[in-house]
C-alpha cells in the first residue's frame, strides 16, 4: 500500500480491491450482486428515481448508479475514492450501453 495517511491507505485498499471484485463481464457481476444483495432491486425503484438527477457517493463500480439510470433517472453522477472502481464503472456503462451516466474520482 502507498500513502501513510488514513486517506492514502483507504484509497490504496479500494484501488487494490475494487468494490464488488473483478469480473470478466458486467453480466457475471450483476448475477453475483443479485444473489448477494437481492434487496438492491427493491431499493432503487422507478418511483424514487424517475425523472430525477441522482448523485451516488461511494459508488464503487456504479451498479446502483446504472440501475437508477435504467429505472428512469434523468441523469446520474457517481463518485468514488478509488480510481480503479471508477475505471470499472466506466467500463460497465459501455457494456450496458447507458448514457447520461458520469463517474468521477473524488472524496
- For the stretch 22-43, pLDDT in tens is 777 777 877 787 787 778 778 8
More confident residue, 17 or 105: 105
| pLDDT at residue 30 in the model | 77
- Mean of the pLDDT values across residues 74-100? 92
| Closest by Cα among 4, 23, 28, 6 to 81 | 6
Tell me the C-alpha to C-alpha distance, in Å, between residue 79 and each of 24, 40, 42, 83: 23, 19, 22, 10
Q: Is the pLDDT of residue 91 over 80?
A: yes
pTM for the model stands at 0.79
| pLDDT at residue 1 in the model | 45
Amino acid at each position: 500500500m502507498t500513502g501513510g495517511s488514513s486517506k492514502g491507505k483507504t484509497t490504496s485498499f479500494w484501488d487494490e480491491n475494487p468494490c464488488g471484485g473483478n469480473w470478466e463481464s458486467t453480466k457475471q457481476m450483476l448475477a453475483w450482486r443479485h444473489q448477494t444483495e437481492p434487496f438492491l432491486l427493491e431499493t432503487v425503484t422507478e418511483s424514487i428515481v424517475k425523472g430525477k438527477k441522482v448523485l451516488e457517493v461511494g459508488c464503487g463500480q456504479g451498479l446502483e448508479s446504472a440501475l437508477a439510470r435504467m429505472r428512469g433517472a434523468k441523469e446520474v453522477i457517481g463518485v468514488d475514492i478509488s480510481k480503479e472502481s471508477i475505471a470499472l464503472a466506466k467500463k460497465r456503462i459501455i457494456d450496458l450501453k447507458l448514457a447520461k451516466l458520469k463517474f468521477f474520482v473524488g472524496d
